[in-house]
């Protein structure tokens, strides 16, 4: 029976148990990851935060605001260590770095990941089918997310979550263009993580994950665990590291919360009428669907077939290809929903295409309804 997150879920802190892999870098606090499993790299630790007066003052304030035990919070945060290699990983690429969709795609859609996706789909057909039915989210999207995030659990990260969150909460790089907002985000995630741990008696020193503090097969941040994780296997706890059913249900729950539209395509092919094209106007809203079919085509975008009957707004999505011409698609609200998991159109296309490749590779008798 499906249950929303409850205090029982953290009894074993299963979202971060130690299947170690390479911590990933995606734009939802993580931008990608290796396409192949590799040996875990244990990060170098710097000094403990117990010596920082500003951190201890923050701990006292957080304990007061959250009605938590002050000594416990101080001790927990005091045992967190600065990770000297993490702040630079949060910096955007140098100005002038060319994006390349073809290169990005090749990191996620390869034979190893596709085979792993087929094995995951075959092993978890019942849970995938049930999630698709209950949440109305296609199996391909669920499978694509888990594959891009962690190669179906093979690369869940090797950073202690408390170290990663503390480092980004208290030593976020000031040179980042949105440093204040990002640091505030990570302080909120650290609060969520410690609040869950304290109220359930879990050891906050145990969970491991990405360098940004994301955990488990779906790489959920602590706030996402609170809001979207579900006990899909009905065993009374949520385990995002070892229970594929919980992972599948939680990913589907996430997309339902972000208004996934059943039956709507993620994107359509698009070409341009050079005589009418106003590409600057079409790209101005970025990937936020803004244009009706009529206004979209009036600005020189050309759609064909079923796309002309699309109900709802569209966005022109540009995928750069280095020195080659960019690729373009007309993104729908469902394309945008995928970018709420990770704020990147490249990520969204990788999820979509990996899911499709896995579906195409499935034996015909094993493919569930999509």
Residues 87 and 205 in one domain: yes
Mean pLDDT, residues 322-341 taken together: 97
**What Rg do the C-alpha atoms of the chain give, in angstroms?**
21
Q: Are residues 16 and 75 in the same domain?
A: yes
Distances (CA, A) of 364 to 50, 112, 208: 57, 20, 38
Domain count along the chain: 2
In a shared domain, residues 311 and 174 = no
Are residues 280 and 229 part of one domain? no
Cβ pair 30, 186 in contact under 8 A = no
Q: Is the dihedral of CA 315, 359, 361, 103 positive or negative?
A: positive
pLDDT tens digits for range 170-203: 999 999 999 999 999 999 999 999 998 987 788 9
Alpha-carbon distance of 229 to 314, in angstroms, equals 29
Q: Are residues 179 and 45 in the same domain?
A: yes
pLDDT digit string (tens) for 196-234?
A: 898 778 899 999 999 999 999 999 999 999 999 999 999
Indicate if 326 and 223 belong to the same structural domain: no
Is the per-residue pLDDT at 10 higher than 70?
no
pLDDT at 42 over 80: no
Alpha-helical (H) ranges within the chain are: 53-66, 70-79, 101-108, 111-123, 125-135, 139-150, 161-170, 179-200, 222-228, 244-257, 279-283, 293-298, 333-339, 345-361
Q: State both tokens at 362.
A: 């499935």
pLDDT for 279-319, tens place per residue?
Answer: 999 999 999 999 999 999 999 999 999 999 999 999 999 99
What the block records as the tokens of 12 is 């074993």
From the number of C-beta atoms within 10 Å of its C-beta (0-12, 13-18, 19+), residue 118 rates as: buried
Is residue 119 included in any domain, yes or no?
no
| Residue 149 to residues 23, 281, 299, Cα–Cα distance (Å) | 10, 33, 36
With 60 as the cut, is the pLDDT of residue 271 above it? yes
The pLDDT, as a whole number, for residue 41 is 57
**Helix, strand, or coil here: 64?**
helix
- Answer yes or no: is 300 within a domain: yes
365's CB contacts (< 8 A; 6+ apart) are none
User: What does DSSP assign to residue 35?
Assistant: S
The answer as to whether 305 is a domain residue is yes
Q: Rounded to whole angstroms, how far apart are CA atoms 13 and 284?
A: 43
Mean pLDDT of the chain: 88
pLDDT digits (tens, 9 = 90+) for 129-149: 999 999 999 999 999 999 999
Q: What is the pTM of this model?
A: 0.87
What are the structure tokens assigned to 161, written together?
Answer: 């979550």
Q: Which residues carry out catalysis?
A: 149
Top pLDDT among 202 and 337 is at 337
pLDDT at 367: 52
Instruction: Write out the residue range of the structural domain in which residue 277 sits.
Output: 267-331
> Which element (helix H / strand E) includes 15?
none
Residue 354 lies in a domain: no
Q: Examine the domain organization and report whether 76 and 159 are in the same domain.
A: yes
CA angle 146, 152, 153 (to 5 degrees): 110
Query: In degrees rounded to 5, what are phi and psi of residue 38?
Result: -135, 170
CA pair distance 329, 314, nearest whole angstrom: 10
Task: Determine contact, residues 62/73, Cβ cutoff 8 Å.
Answer: yes
206/282 same-domain check:
no
Helices vs strands, H then E, count in the chain: 14, 7
Same domain, 156 and 281: no
Q: What is the pLDDT of residue 4?
A: 35
Residue 170 located in a structural domain: yes
Let me know whether 87 and 28 are in one domain.
Answer: yes
């Amino acid at each position: 029976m499906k249950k929303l997150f409850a205090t029982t879920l953290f009894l074993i802190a299963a979202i971060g148990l130690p299947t170690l892999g390479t911590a990933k870098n995606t734009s939802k606090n993580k931008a990608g990851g290796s396409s192949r499993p590799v040996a875990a790299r244990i990060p170098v630790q710097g000094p403990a935060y117990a010596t920082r007066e500003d951190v201890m003052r923050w701990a006292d304030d957080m304990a007061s605001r959250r009605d938590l035990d002050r000594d416990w919070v101080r001790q927990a945060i005091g045992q967190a260590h600065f990770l000297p290699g993490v702040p630079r990983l949060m910096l955007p690429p140098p100005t002038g770095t060319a994006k390349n969709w073809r290169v990005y795609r090749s990191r996620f859609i390869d034979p190893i990941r596709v085979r792993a996706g087929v094995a995951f789909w075959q092993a978890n057909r019942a849970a995938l089918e049930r999630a698709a039915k209950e949440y109305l989210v296609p199996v391909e999207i669920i499978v694509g997310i888990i594959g891009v995030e962690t190669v179906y659990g093979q690369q869940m990260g090797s950073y202690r979550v408390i170290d990663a969150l503390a480092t980004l909460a208290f030593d976020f790089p000031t040179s980042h263009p949105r440093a204040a907002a990002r640091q505030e985000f990570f302080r909120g995630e650290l609060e969520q993580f410690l609040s869950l741990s304290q109220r359930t008696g879990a050891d906050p020193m145990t969970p491991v994950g990405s360098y940004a503090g994301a955990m488990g097969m779906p790489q959920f941040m602590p706030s996402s665990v609170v809001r979207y994780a579900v006990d899909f296997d009905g065993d009374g706890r949520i385990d995002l590291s070892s229970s594929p059913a919980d992972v599948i249900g939680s990913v589907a729950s996430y997309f339902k919360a972000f208004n996934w539209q059943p039956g709507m395509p993620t994107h359509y092919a698009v070409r341009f009428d050079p005589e009418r094209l106003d590409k600057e106007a079409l790209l101005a809203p970025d990937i936020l669907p803004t244009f009706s079919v009529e206004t979209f085509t009036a600005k020189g975008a050309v759609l064909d077939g079923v796309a002309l009957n699309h109900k709802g707004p569209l966005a022109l999505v540009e995928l750069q290809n280095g020195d080659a011409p960019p690729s373009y698609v007309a993104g729908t609200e469902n394309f945008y929903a995928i970018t709420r998991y990770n704020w990147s159109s490249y990520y969204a296309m990788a999820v979509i295409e990996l899911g499709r490749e896995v579906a195409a590779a499935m034996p015909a008798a094993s493919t569930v309804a999509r």
